[in-house]
Chains A and B, each alone.
Chain A
Amino acid sequence: MHYNLARGVNLDVIPTKQFKANQILINFTTPQTHTNATARNLVANVLETSSKKYPTQTALARRLAQQYGTYISMGVGRVGLLHTVRLKAGFINDQLAHTNLFDQVIALIREILFNPLASDGAFDQATFARQAHNLGATINSYYDDKQFWAARRLLDLYYADDSVMQTPSFGKASEIAGLTAQNLYPVYQSMIEDDRVDILIIGDLDEQEVIRAIQQLPFNDRQIDLGQIIYDQRPYRQIQRQVEYQQLSQAKLNLGYQLPIHYGHALYYAGLVFNGLFGGSPYSKLFTNVREKASLAYYASSRLMPFNGLLTVQTGIKSSDARRVEELINAQLKEVQEDNYSDQRLNEVKAGLINQYRSGNDLAGNLLERQLVRNLLGVQQADIPAAFNAVTRAEIQRVARSLKQQAVYLLSGEN
């Protein structure tokens, strides 16, 4: 059930006896700007590790352990042009804990969100400094993963230079030096007071008890206009290309295609089926022809980013094969554009997507994420298996023909 607790503050409760552990998601949403991602990530890190009552990570961790390994974690993400800070909590059912954990967990969430380790309008200096340092190190270490590196560099190449999309949701290590225990505090305040808030709870819980407990959280009315959510940009006339060199044994070739078919679009499900046929499933053209038949890649897949107007292809290859692989990838795309695949393949891809969707119903966190996205986009719950089954070949062809190759990034191992 959906409830409105205050202007811009929503609660969804999904009661179920399926799970042995319950989950809570509290999501704070605001439009992403050029500068807020890093700061909000740091806020999430500071809140997650300290509060007035539990001033050290250890004190907090001890409280969580006492509550039978309850976890409360905070992180950041994005939905198109929106930046989100997420608090996730998980805790076992009362029958297995032999105690009422729910009220204790809500009390701890309240402590973490509303009683941060701060005074005189500034976070505790030592906590701030440590988290700032760690966040920088964490962001830098993401780039040790070469698949991640290549994926991110492709996005840098694809997104227009002045777009907020240039900044990852987790921010930039280079921006951390500009943050202080003082100037971070208003970022926190604004998140609590001005962000849109969605609270989502799933588990073996009494709905009235949940509402009663959540109403105690001091969230007030706020502005709810989030502005534009879906990102799109004018296509480049020429494909953007970049090659970088690093010492590695496997090169990464990533491609970006503009695809203006977003979540909620009439062709959205056709877009997902197209992606499954092209490179998003093990039955796809990229997997079977680039990886398996031609043995040109260890991995080759595509990914639809339905809030960003973008489809990406990622491969791990030998540097010297880059040109051949790019040609072969585009030849696979042409096949789908020319309606060249069997009905059997199409049915497999649809069956796979439906299976994935139904399997997702077994993941508590997934059910919350889906509800959150529906809330943010204002979309009703659909009969998704029926939507996949209704996709036609003509619709898939329309999707395939609307792809425009825009960016090619090669992380090469050979100079």
Chain B
Amino acid sequence: MEKYFYQDFNRSTYHQQLANGLNVVLMPMPGFNKTYAMMTTNFGSIDNCFVPYSGQEPIHVPDGVAHFLEHKLFEKKDYDAFDLFGKLGADSNAFTSFTQTSYLFSTTSHLHENIDILLDFVQQPYFTAQTVQKEQGIIGQEIQMYDDDPNWRLYLGMLGNLYPHDPMHIDIAGTVESISKITPEILMENYRTFYQPSNMTLLLVGNLDPEETIKWVVANQEKKDFAPQEKPDRRFKLNDPTGKDVIPFRSLTMNVNRPKVMVGIRGLKSFDDGRARLKYKLAVDLLLDVLLDDTSDNYLRLYDEGVIDDSFSYNLDMQRAFYFAYFSTNTDQTEKFADEVMRILEDADQQIDQAAARFEGVKRGELGRLIGLLNSPETIGNRYAGQLFDGANLMDEVRMMRTITLDDLKAAAADFINPDGMSVYQIVPQHQ
């Protein structure tokens, strides 16, 4: 097991890849009561076209399979994994994103037993026609609930603008229609392909003894037989890597009190190296802060003109195969908001020059916020993005953030900001 000590934080991390390929990452947090565990497969809703395990030809699977599989994995022939955690008082949960599926528990006792439950239920699939049918009803309700959520519709609408012909524009849960096509066989085919240990990471953060913990994990894995590992052959390809397919504007009418608007910008530059990608991400994070955080003149002006209010937010969302930034607000001046944000983005180079004096403060702000996140085992776990950032954790992020310079911002702006990649999506109330 490799150990790395972060003297500046007085914390250590441990990593080991097991014989079956499973990556294990341990991050003890002295003084904490809770342990947070995540078993993650590098498989999400966009992975809907691939060569199945030991197969030859690529197949297309119905939208929403990854999320459906996540729901179904808890249920076994004569028990529900959820209840096993529950007996020990642990909280358990799971989530599916565009590019990953994670199974979680958090506990303040019985860590060893909880780890066994987690590994066992994820590694022992059980799907039947009857349970699949029941789940179609539950997930159908879940999809409908998201349909009523204007913030989710805004986000998904923007993805539809930025990636109109790629799987990111479809709800992670799929549609009522697509999930009706899911069968136990389809679930099993996806499972065999993407739930191989070599495509998964077990991460534990918080109250734990690393030496003891790794022994428990190894003992659990050695008891099981695994088929030969095969790297999943994804056939994901962006419809247009140059972003020429971006839809510049769409509008949706919904039952909301105030209009909502989002400006998105699609990133086009691609990276082979995880750390270079992370550095670029942090530079763009700082770039967005410099342009529009609450210390900027832009923010004050737009706020005073009533173009934005406290609902204004922005973010850079970076996942395997795609990334984009978005700026959103509730406002009565949707058009003005869109024009202003796009103008500020296009003018980034000059904006950075004007902000030189403010840069140190902006960077300190980001550093402080990142360091504050080190109080939360969940945040440390959820932020860990595996290969995407070459195994970097939150402490690596802080260290790298300390190195970002104004020149890095300029370089990032030149790469990231491209007028063809920009788009606007808005939601307006029915009565207007």
A56-B300 contact, Cβ under 8 Å, with A64-B365, A354-B89, A359-B34: yes
- Whether the pair A65, B365 counts as a contact (CB closer than 8 A) is yes
| B residues near A68, Cβ cutoff 8 Å | 364-365, 367-368, 371
Chain A, 218-247, CB within 8 A of any chain B CB = 246-247
In the complex, how many angstroms separate the beta carbon of A270 from the nearest chain B beta carbon? 18
Which residue of the partner chain, among A283, A295, A359, contacts B108 with CB atoms under 8 Å?
Answer: A359
- Whether the pair B311, A347 counts as a contact (CB closer than 8 A) is no
- Whether the pair B296, A295 counts as a contact (CB closer than 8 A) is no
Interface size for A (C-beta < 8 A) is 63
- Judge whether A133 is part of the interface by a CB distance below 8 angstroms: yes
Which residue of the partner chain, among A62, A69, A246, A350, contacts B358 with CB atoms under 8 Å?
Answer: A62
Chain B, 351-392, CB within 8 A of any chain A CB = 358, 361-362, 364-369, 371-372, 374-377
In the complex, how many angstroms separate the beta carbon of B13 from the nearest chain A beta carbon? 15
- Whether the pair A21, B300 counts as a contact (CB closer than 8 A) is no
Interface residues of B (CB under 8 A from A): 8-9, 31-34, 82-83, 86-91, 106-109, 134, 137-138, 141-142, 144-145, 147-150, 206, 255-258, 293-297, 299-300, 303-304, 306, 309-311, 330, 358, 361-362, 364-369, 371-372, 374-377, 430
In the complex, how many angstroms separate the beta carbon of A62 from the nearest chain B beta carbon? 5
| B residues near A279, Cβ cutoff 8 Å | none
Considering the chains assembled together, what is the distance between the CA atoms of A350 and B134 in angstroms? 30
Which residue of the partner chain, among B31, B141, B310, contacts A16 with CB atoms under 8 Å?
Answer: B31
- Whether the pair A69, B375 counts as a contact (CB closer than 8 A) is no
| CB-CB nearest in chain B for A65 | B365
| CB-CB nearest in chain A for B370 | A69
In the complex, how many angstroms separate the beta carbon of B342 from the nearest chain A beta carbon? 22
Considering the chains assembled together, what is the distance between the CA atoms of A335 and B265 in angstroms? 54
18 contacts between A and B (CB under 8 A): A20-B375, A68-B365, A69-B371, A96-B8, A130-B304, A137-B258, A138-B310, A141-B258, A249-B148, A250-B141, A282-B86, A348-B87, A355-B90, A355-B91, A358-B34, A358-B108, A362-B32, A363-B376
- Judge whether A66 is part of the interface by a CB distance below 8 angstroms: yes
| B residues near A347, Cβ cutoff 8 Å | 87
Considering the chains assembled together, what is the distance between the CA atoms of A90 and B300 in angstroms? 23
- Whether the pair B372, A249 counts as a contact (CB closer than 8 A) is no
| A residues near B83, Cβ cutoff 8 Å | 283, 348
- Judge whether A248 is part of the interface by a CB distance below 8 angstroms: yes
- Whether the pair B255, A247 counts as a contact (CB closer than 8 A) is yes
Chain A, 271-302, CB within 8 A of any chain B CB = 282-283, 291-292, 295, 297-299
Interface residues of A (CB under 8 A from B): 16-21, 56-58, 61-62, 64-70, 90-92, 96-97, 130, 133-134, 137-138, 140-141, 143-146, 246-250, 282-283, 291-292, 295, 297-299, 316, 344, 347-348, 350-352, 354-356, 358-359, 361-364
Considering the chains assembled together, what is the distance between the CA atoms of A351 and B366 in angstroms? 38
Considering the chains assembled together, what is the distance between the CA atoms of A297 and B141 in angstroms? 7
- Whether the pair A144, B257 counts as a contact (CB closer than 8 A) is yes
Considering the chains assembled together, what is the distance between the CA atoms of A21 and B374 in angstroms? 8
- Whether the pair A92, B368 counts as a contact (CB closer than 8 A) is yes
| A residues near B309, Cβ cutoff 8 Å | 134, 137-138
Closest 8 CB pairs of A and B: A69-B368, A351-B89, A68-B368, A65-B365, A298-B141, A18-B31, A358-B108, A61-B294
Instruction: Beyond A246-B255, A348-B89, list 11 extra A-B contacts (CB 8 Å).
Output: A18-B32, A21-B375, A57-B299, A65-B364, A96-B8, A133-B306, A141-B258, A249-B148, A298-B142, A352-B86, A361-B33
- Whether the pair B147, A61 counts as a contact (CB closer than 8 A) is no
- Whether the pair B89, A19 counts as a contact (CB closer than 8 A) is no
- Whether the pair B300, A58 counts as a contact (CB closer than 8 A) is yes
In the complex, how many angstroms separate the beta carbon of A96 from the nearest chain B beta carbon? 5
Which residue of the partner chain, among A134, A145, A352, A364, contacts B310 with CB atoms under 8 Å?
Answer: A134
Which residue of the partner chain, among A58, A144, A249, A344, contacts B299 with CB atoms under 8 Å?
Answer: A58
| CB-CB nearest in chain A for B362 | A65
In the complex, how many angstroms separate the beta carbon of A199 from the nearest chain B beta carbon? 21
| CB-CB nearest in chain A for B296 | A58
- Whether the pair B145, A138 counts as a contact (CB closer than 8 A) is no
- Whether the pair A144, B150 counts as a contact (CB closer than 8 A) is yes
| CB-CB nearest in chain A for B30 | A18
- Whether the pair A358, B33 counts as a contact (CB closer than 8 A) is yes
